[in-house]
Every structure is written in C-alpha cells, then in structure tokens.
Structure 1
Amino acid sequence: MSAGTLGIKGVAQESAVHSRPRMRAGYTSISAGTMDKLVAAIAADAFNVPLKDVRAGVHDQSGQVSVSLAVPLVLRLAAELNGRSETNGGTVFERAASGRQRVTQGIEVLAGSTVGRVDVRFTGIHEPDPRNAGRVQ
C-alpha cells in the first residue's frame, strides 16, 4: 500500500485512476467439459430438477452456442394441486419454452456466449418429494 492510499482513520481510499479494474495480459478459456457442466447446472436450476438427472451437450453453430438438453419433466402429485385443474407450470411445451429462455439467459450471463439454439428433450418424470420442500439440496 502506498502512503497516498490511507485516508482518515486508516480507511483505504483509491483515486479514480485506481478504481478501474486492471487488465492483465493473457487469456481465459473454458474447456468443453466445463461448459457442458455449466450448462447442465443452469438447466437443473431452470427446470427445477436434480443436477444428476440432467444431460447437456454444447456445440458450436456458426459462432453461436447450440445446446442439447435431456431433462426429466417435473410433475406434482395430484393431491398437491388440491383439486385444481391447473397443471402447475403450464403445458409441457410452455415449460420447455420457459426453461429454454432461462437456460439461454444463464449461458449469456455466466459464460458470455451468444446462444443460437436450445433443444429440450424430456426424458422422464421427476416428482419432487414434498418432505424436502424448501430444503437446500
């Protein structure tokens, strides 16, 4: 710490020149396996299913990310719906569209990549355990 960075009562103060992040020479790369796992984690969150049940594949499609997902469909038990006729989340196609949008946004925010396509394939049924509702997994 230089003598000019200490302010009143020992609090560090930076000038406007030092407040910008410093750029360092070098590069950052994300391996294909890491990108697959990142996308799987984003999809698990988007579709509200356990990460172990998600399979994700990431491919380059003319400079954009193309994603293939295989996830189970979340269904609540009929007793949980309390006799309501709603399907708790919309139709299967509405759920896929919502999940697709959340996955796209997550990839763009976390990886900084432009997403061109997200294919969703539902591979089974996931019934959340009501005893674990609200628990951190």
Structure 2
Amino acid sequence: MSTAESSHGRTVITERAIERVVRAVTAEQFGVQAKAVSADLTDAGGRLDLAVRTPIRVVPISRVHEDADAIRRSGGSIVDRAQHGEATIADRVSEITGSTVSRLSLRFTSADIAKERRVR
C-alpha cells in the first residue's frame, strides 16, 4: 500500500453532531435560540428524514397594525417563512454535513413575539 493510499481514511459524523447542526441551522432560520429547537433524525436508506420542532420569532400584531411592511421585513407570513425555511434547512444541513435530506417535517411549537428594532 502506498503512502497516499494509507493516508485516506473514513470520516463519520455522529447522529448527535448532525442533530446539533440541524438545531443551529433551524434556530438561525427562525430567529430563535438553538436550545429551544429539537430534532429527531432517522436514517432512510442512507438519507436523512428530519422531524424538527421549533418556536418562530414573529412581530407583534400591534406592530403590524402600525406598519404594514413589518411582516415583509420579518420574512413574510408564517406560511411563507415555513416553506422557505424547510428548503433552506434541508439545503444547509446537506451542505454542512454532506448528508442528503430526503424529508423534513417542520412543526412550530410557539411564537416568540419580539419587538422590531427601529433604526436610528
């Protein structure tokens, strides 16, 4: 065996590491803390099935009444953000881990109502 052949090995990413990646990517996508996100992973013939539960940050209704653009600035409606979020999470998890996400089930557990910061 040559030196080049013996230097090649195998890289294994543990389920726990992938779960942490899923939680971090989801938290970033929906503006919440990673510790508030939970994820279950299932190996589906070498591909990942993900079941993710997360809160979602939303603007207060009072703010929407004051400024119709508040929803657009927050990323759109919850339905729009969910659809975009599913695709983004699957793509980012695949990019970071090298695993193919075959299915992603996303469930919002609560709304984190945060005031929109005003630029001065």
The reply to whether TM is greater than 0.5 is: yes
1:109 maps to a residue whose letter is E
> What's the offset of the Cα at 1:26?
1.7
Where does the alignment leave 5 or more consecutive residues of structure 1 unmatched? 1-21
1:84 aligns with 2:76: no
Q: Residues of 2 paired with 1:25 and 1:74: CA distance?
A: 44
Aligned partners of 1:128 and 1:110: how far apart in 2?
Answer: 29
- Match for residue 101 of structure 2? 115
Give me the whole-angstrom Cα distance separating, in 1, the residues matched to 2:63 and 2:70: 11
Matched residue SS, 2:12: coil
TM-score between the two structures when normalised by the length of structure 1: 0.70
Count of aligned pairs between the two proteins: 112
Q: Matched residues, percent identical?
A: 25
Normalising by structure 2, we get a TM-score of 0.78
- Point out where structure 2 has 5 or more consecutive residues left out of the alignment: none
Q: Which has the larger helix fraction?
A: 2
- Show CA shifts across 1:8-51 (max 9, x none): xxxxxxxxxxxxxx883221111111111111111111122111
| Structure-2 separation of matches of 1:114 and 1:87 | 32
Could you say which structure has the greater relative contact order, defined with CA pairs below 8 angstroms and 6 or more residues apart? 2
Q: Contact 2:25 / 2:92 at 8 angstroms: preserved in 1?
A: yes
Instruction: Measure the CA separation in 1 of the matches of 2:102 and 2:56.
Output: 23
Alpha carbon RMSD of aligned pairs, Å?
A: 2.5
Relative to its length, the structure with more strand (as a share) is: 2
Between structure 1 and structure 2, the one with the greater Rg is 1
